[in-house]
Every structure is written in C-alpha cells, then in structure tokens.
C-alpha cells in the first residue's frame, strides 16, 4: 500500500509540474485566476510557473527515490517509518521555504504566517518522531 501511495504522489507531482510548467496552465496557481487583469499584467507568472514546476518535479523525484529505497533496501518497519517521516518533514520544510520565495514582495505580511506554519509543523511532528525513536531503541 505504501508503494501505491508513493507512486500516486510521484504521478501527482510530476503531472502537476508538466501541467503548470510545460502546458502553461497558470490558472491552477493559487490566487492567479482571481487577480484583476491589471494586477495580472504586472505579475511575472511565467517565472512563478517555472519555479513551481521545478519544485513539483523535485517533489516527484524525491517520491521516486523514497519509493525505490523502501522497495529495494529491505529495511525494518521502524526504519521505513523513519524514512517516511523524513520524507514528510522535507516536503513540509520545502513548502514553507517556497512560501517565502514566492511571496518576496510581501515578505512582511508572509513572515508571521511562515513562523506560525513552522511552529505548527514542528509541534505536530515531534510526537511521531519520539514514537519512532522509541521503536528504534
């Protein structure tokens, strides 16, 4: 079941990257389709779509690497759980960084959201991490 989930994540991320970056489906980028036409004219959507596409390709590659590692490495269940934990933590951390990168112009507005996001993310991951460490020891 884990491999199916990772495969679906890989296909979703790769498909999203292709649709947004290559097929130029800019309306799928949150907030862009609701912008007034004057604001859209000033917005460098091609650059944002390019960066978002690359980010989605990276997430797809990461899902493929994790899937292959879990399939071929013959690891114990707690070690597989630890790898999945790390995978989720990396994705969440990179999403937080992307939030800052994509909102450079509004950094003062987005910084409190970024801080709250990271505090909530870390607080929610700590119990799972401690449970995994207990299993490994």
What is the total residue count of the chain? 137
* Whole-number Å distance between alpha carbons of 44 and 13: 22
Do 66 and 126 fall into the same domain? no
* Whole-number Å distance between alpha carbons of 81 and 85: 6
Name 107's Cβ contacts closer than 8 Å, sequence gap at least 6: 100
Query: Which tens digits make up the pLDDT trace of 31-60?
Result: 788 888 888 888 888 988 999 899 999 999
Domain extent for 98:
75-137
pLDDT above 90 (res 11): yes
What is the count of structural domains for the chain? 2
Band (pLDDT 50/70/90 cuts) for residue 64 is very high
Domain boundary among 27, 50, 73: 73
Query: Which tens digits make up the pLDDT trace of 69-114?
Result: 999 988 888 888 888 888 988 998 898 888 888 777 778 888 888 8
Q: Distance between alpha carbon 85 and the CA centroid of its chain, in Å?
A: 14
Radius of gyration of the chain, Cα coordinates, nearest whole angstrom: 18
Do 63 and 111 fall into the same domain? no
Do 107 and 47 fall into the same domain? no
């Amino acid at each position: 079941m884990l491999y199916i989930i990772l495969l679906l994540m890989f296909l979703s991320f790769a498909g999203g990257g292709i649709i947004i970056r290559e097929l130029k489906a800019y309306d799928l980028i949150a907030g862009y389709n609701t912008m007034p036409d004057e604001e859209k004219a000033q917005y460098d959507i091609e650059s944002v779509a390019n960066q978002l596409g690359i980010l989605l390709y990276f997430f797809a590659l990461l899902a493929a690497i994790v899937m292959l590692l879990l399939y071929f490495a013959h690891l114990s269940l707690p070690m597989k759980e630890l790898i999945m934990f790390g995978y989720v933590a990396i994705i969440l951390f990179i999403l937080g960084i992307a939030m800052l990168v994509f909102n450079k112009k509004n950094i003062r507005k987005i910084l409190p959201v970024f801080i709250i996001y990271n505090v909530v993310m870390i607080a929610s991951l700590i119990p799972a991490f401690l449970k995994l460490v207990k299993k490994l020891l």
